[in-house]
Structure 1
């Protein structure tokens, strides 16, 4: 890869980040891993911020949410907000995916719509104590769909690499 091809590098970093998040596939006790993968994605967003700044803004908000979630593991003021912050983080991830797919000129309708369904189920089930199994299953399905996003970003990487 040409080291001057910032666009291709950005798509590669974002694709790797999405694949890493997809492979976590568990909703709890992954805050530190998600944080490191979000940092990787934010580096990718920084590389393309001349073209669009919205993914960088979303990535920064995700980073802040995940830092709060990591700090809340040991208790503290934010502990009662953890479920809400967790859900907000995932919805912002989906919004960022939509923005990146549009920017990369990849098909941006089907994957986000399909991903929104298990994420909506997770959002509701996450707040219901008796629906823990449903929340876990929907989160795993959402994670698998993130692999689709990773493939689309890697396809955009390949297109940008060949274009230059």
Structure 2
């Protein structure tokens, strides 16, 4: 049976690895199976924490639903016209789950979410306007780099949880 601190550490590790993977994918358009797989990894981490908080799990479930729709709509499905808005909503759910996870892990929860919100807001607006495609891509890359910061914070929380008796 997994001990309480081991479960906490495993959750932080899964979530940190998921964040690092998503940051390294840096795909502004076209949700792929890799991104969906990384979200599933994070949701498994959220499930390990659901006794402590359910908020990240709800965000993760929303992300999974949106990413499944996004994966299916790339071939011109019924949801294709909503793609930019669904993509932005997916990324805002990722941001919200990061915010809740940083608070849960006792990590600094102000600087990283604030730093990530700026390029994410720029991306959300620019992604809906074809004339600003370059701005959307650049802001998405900046957001992805900030996700690496989040991954480091989660891995720091993992290390702290592993060190507790």
Structure-2-length-normalised TM-score: 0.96
Structure 1 unaligned residues grouped into runs of 5+: none
- State how far apart, in whole Å, the 1-side matches of 2:152 and 2:23 are: 11
Match of 1:89 in 2: 90
- State how far apart, in whole Å, the 1-side matches of 2:54 and 2:130 are: 38
| 1:78-126: CA deviation from partner (whole Å, max 9, x where unpaired) | 1111110000000010000000000000000000000001001101110
- State how far apart, in whole Å, the 2-side matches of 1:83 and 1:145 are: 21
RMSD: 1.2
- State how far apart, in whole Å, the 2-side matches of 1:69 and 1:54 are: 22
Match of 2:12 in 1: 11
CA contact (8 A) 2:15 2:42 kept: yes
CA contact (8 A) 1:10 1:44 kept: yes
- State how far apart, in whole Å, the 1-side matches of 2:69 and 2:27 are: 19
4+ residue stretches of structure 1 with deviation over 3 A?
none
Deviation at 1:28, TM superposition (A): 1.7
Match of 2:116 in 1: 115
Structure 2 unaligned residues grouped into runs of 5+: none
CA contact (8 A) 1:42 1:59 kept: yes
Deviation at 1:65, TM superposition (A): 0.4
Show the 5 A alignment for 1:133-152: 133-152=134-153
Structure-1-length-normalised TM-score: 0.96
2:133 alignment partner, SS class = helix
